[in-house]
Amino acid sequence: MSIAAAREVAQVLNAKPNAVLGMATGSTPLGLYQELVRMYARRELDFSHVTTFNLDEYVGLPVSHPQSYHHFMHEHFFRHVNIPPQNVHIPSGTTTNYAAFCDWYEQRIREAGGIDLQILGIGSDGHIAFNEPGSSLSSRTRLKTLAKSTIDDNARFFKERDEVPIYAITMGVGTILEARRVLLLATGKNKAGAVAAAVEGPVASMITASALQMHPNTQVLLDEEAASSLKMRDYYDWVQEKKPNAPKV
């Protein structure tokens, strides 16, 4: 899955070296970042004109905190590639004015020309970024209270459950839907239900990933376990098999 995702990112960068990438954190995109770092080391990719916007950040964690998304991105990706630091954007978890910061973040995305490719994971509750169940499908970047299930899911990264932040700043579903292309990645059995609900269920704010059904260019990349609850799996395989021979459009 990670190699397939890296190929898609490479294709975007080859077509548009100054592409704007939307970045995600969590366990899911780790393999993708490792693969992109490898491609960069082999001089197959150049990030010198790339701009990035991350989806979200915990409120209250300084950038140096080992579980902050700033730290995650620096450790797993940014310090290994040549993206100019001034082109990197990650929501602030420590601003003194969240409303003003969120407006500024949306404005920066617009000024950069919009996001060309947004990388997404999915929460076990069907969230994208930290758009928890019930989030408006036209929401914009804002402060969000995390669902208890998300706090439980993310507690594995912290010493104590009490240390997991309760609030986050996150791009909205509406912000994400404006990306020109979206790559949704998922691995593992515990994502199978959320993936099936997002891809085959009704569009509903209870599964914010389902809003991607309204997006004109979203690709879903899964491992076998994450795909295991899809009802139409045979059809998707058939489409993949037949695609190379389809009339060229």
- Interface with ligand PGA includes 123 (CB under 6 A)? yes
Instruction: Give the total of residues touching ligand PGA (CB under 6 A).
Output: 6
Which 185-204 residues touch ligand PGA, going by CB under 6 A?
Answer: none
C-alpha torsion sign, points 201, 24, 51, 35: negative
* Cβ–Cβ under 8 Å, residues 170 and 130: yes
Figure out which of the listed residues 9, 39, 117, 122 binds ligand PGA, where binding follows CB under 6 A. Answer: 122
Q: 87 vs 135, which CB is nearer to ligand PGA?
A: 135
DSSP 65-112: STTSHHHHHHHHTGGGS---GGGEE---SS-S-HHHHHHHHHHHHHHT
Q: Does 28 contact ligand PGA by CB under 6 A? A: yes
Q: Which residues are catalytic?
A: 56, 125, 127, 132
- Return the structure tokens found at 177: 């839907």
Pick 26 or 93: Cβ nearer ligand PGA = 26
In sequence order, the 6+-apart residues with CB closer than 8 A to the CB of 160 are none
Rama region for 115: left / alpha / beta (φ>0; ψ in -120 to 50; rest): beta
165 part of the interface to ligand PGA, by CB under 6 A: no
Q: Which of 93, 121, 165, 172 binds ligand PGA (CB under 6 A)?
A: 121
Q: Which of 3-11, 58-66, 96-104, 116-124 is the region at the interface with ligand PGA (rule: CB under 6 A)?
A: 116-124
* Minimum separation from the CB atom of position 121 to ligand PGA (A): 3
Q: Which residue number places its CB atom closest to ligand PGA?
A: 26
Applying CB under 6 A, among 13, 21, 26, 92 the residue interacting with ligand PGA is 26
Q: Alpha-carbon dihedral of residues 115, 19, 57, 105, nearest 10 degrees?
A: -60
Among 27, 82, 97, 145, binds ligand PGA (CB under 6 A): 27
